[in-house]
Amino acid sequence: MTEPGAEFAHVLPAEQVQELLNTLVKAARAFQMYLPNNPMYHRASANIAAAFEPVWNAIDELVLTVQETDFVWEQEVVYHQLSKADSLAWTLYKDGLRALTLRKGVEQEELTRFLGVVNRVRGLAPDAADDLFTLLWTEEFQFIDVRFMESAQEYGTGELVPQAEHAGGMDLSAEVKADLADGAAGEAADAPERPKGVVDADEFDSTLYFLDGDEVDRLSADLAYEYSRDLRAASLTAIYDLFESQVETETRDEILGVLETLFPSMLNAGEFRASASMLRETRVLAERSPELAPEHQERLVTFIEELSEPAIVGQLMQALDEGTGRPNDADIAELLRELRPKALSTLVEWTPRLTSATVRGLVEKAVEHLASAHQGEVLRLIRSGDAASLPGAIDLAGRLKLEGAVPGLGEVMDNPDAALRLAATEALVAIASPGGLVVLERAVGDEDRAVRLAALKALTARGYKGAVGKVQEVVEGKGRKDLDFNERRAFFEAYGAIVGPAGLPVLRDLIVRRGFFRRKKSAEVRMCAALGLGRIGTPEARAVLESVAEDADRQVRNAVTAALRGVAE
């Protein structure tokens, strides 16, 4: 008779399984040492996939018996490590895991999560509330089954099985059947004698075939509902109700302890919708719970504010940006809506660094929602001068057109960083309030060319009269001497647009030569004057342009032609 497992021995050598387990051990160390965005982390994942390929070519399911320092497959030891500190088998064995089944496809996603749980278990304190059993239970694996000595819960299938310690190589299904048979025999022996005429339902066929079609459908629907409904949400609702109804200090202390422990775990697991729901419910508890003690009120408020702490918000942003298994966008948006104003500085700091366009869009909406409701926080960030959050706060003030931010933006115009001054200028242009135009007038004299041009363009479009003084200085040659042609042209066009017909005499004297001995202006100045006349656009300005249309200087002629074309249009 062929021994169990012998049919696989010639198909899949034990050495191949041994090599696979060695790869898993190395990968577990790599996952513990490196973040998911590290090349070493990705190389370890690729090595796992490569090690599984020959195994899945031979079998579809790998069943390992877990012993104290060994893994056993088909009655052969395929992993042995005497050092318990380094032993993967011991890490599983000490928490009661006795059988581990890996199915084809586990290497795609679930194995990485499984090894992550193993690494977390290694770092748990002896008195920690969680253990391997509870952590695996929350993962709900589809391609991994585990069997514990005491828990009687086989993950992935949802089936309850009797648990016992297994020797290496024993067929688990056969042992389960034997255990069930022995248990049934014992119950029959211990059962009291039934009176005559009493019927036992267990003697009848328990299949569904005696039900009619409607009953089968209804029962199937009820089963599907039970398996699909969120039991945790119902449990949490019961906890909230207990907190409101039970006013004893010890009871409420215990409930708050449960919530404070559960919330970080849910957040780390990416269960953002459930986390947001917990924050909303605790806020309601703080508002309407009867006979609420001051210490409980303070703990509830602290709990709600915890999510908006800069360190937690930063970790949340990093997890969203780097995570491969990102939650549903609606769940992310729901959690972000629960953030408090103090999270704004971290959000505006992280927003431009986010690589995922979808996540960045969700965060930007959350930032705008927070800033619109708490404009004072935006103004505080602008006045704080914090180098990390200041660029984002300036951009936010411009996008939301916050007129109250104008004084703070005016202070930024004194910042030595030209990039920040330019960002403040653009924000002031977007706000376009009277106070903002006054600050832009100062920016016309800024040391940075880009700042001057941005301010000048906005003032020109607005026809802001307050800028005439600085603009006229440049036109009359009394201002800066280091302007290039494009910037000088912008000043002349601003002069024509802002001053209008009153500026005709000044520009005419610059472009038309009067008197034989009078020094003629440079070609660049005359070209700029022509373009300024074009912005005035009156018949008198057109007449001046036509008078110099045949000027000896070709560049001046070209500028006059362009100006006349603009007047005609």
Instruction: Say yes or no to pLDDT of 173 above 70.
Output: no
Question: What mean pLDDT do residues 454-474 have?
Answer: 85
**Distances from the Cα of 57 to the Cαs of 46, 52, 53, in angstroms?**
17, 9, 6
Instruction: Provide CATH 1.25.10.10 ranges for the chain.
Output: 468-569
CB 545 within 8 A of CB 532: no
Taking all residues of the chain, what is their mean pLDDT, rounded to a whole number? 80
Alpha-carbon distance 395 to 559, whole Å? 37
The CATH code belonging to domain 468-569 is 1.25.10.10
CA distance 445 to 106: 66
Q: Which two tokens stand for residue 523?
A: 């070609």
Fold designation for 397-462: Leucine-rich Repeat Variant (1.25.10)
pLDDT in tens, 487-514: 888 888 888 888 888 888 888 888 886 6
The tokens describing 121, both together, are: 């278990």
- pLDDT of 64 over the 90 cut: yes
3-class DSSP assignment, residue 164: coil
pLDDT of the residue at 153: 42
Tokens 């005499």 — which residue?
505
Please report, for residues 219, 366, 367, 402, the alpha-carbon distance to residue 370 in angstroms, rounded to integers and kept in the order given. Answer: 48, 6, 5, 13
Q: What is the dihedral of CA 239, 245, 248, 250, to 10 degrees?
A: 0
The encoded tokens of residue 450 equal 């880009």
CB atoms within 10 A of CB 377: 18
Model confidence over 340-378: pLDDT tens digits?
888 888 888 888 888 888 888 888 888 888 888 888 888
SS3 of 1-24: CCCCCHHHHCCCCHHHHHHHHHHH
pTM for the whole structure:
0.49
pLDDT digits (tens, 9 = 90+) for 39-56: 888 888 889 999 999 999
286-295: long-range pairs with CB below 8 Å, 24+: 288/244, 289/243, 289/244, 290/244, 290/247, 291/247, 293/249, 293/252
Q: What are phi and psi of 101, to 5 degrees?
A: -115, 125
- The count of other CB atoms within 10 Å of the CB of residue 188 is 8
What are the angstrom distances between the C-alpha of 540 and each of 74, 465, 494, 529, 532?
A: 103, 22, 18, 14, 13
| pLDDT, tens only, 199-239 | 565 555 555 456 677 877 888 888 887 777 777 777 888 88
- For 79, phi then psi, to 5°, come to -155, 130
| CB distance 281 to 236 below 8 Å | yes
Contact, 141 vs 122, CB < 8 A? no
Percentage of the chain with pLDDT > 90?
Answer: 7
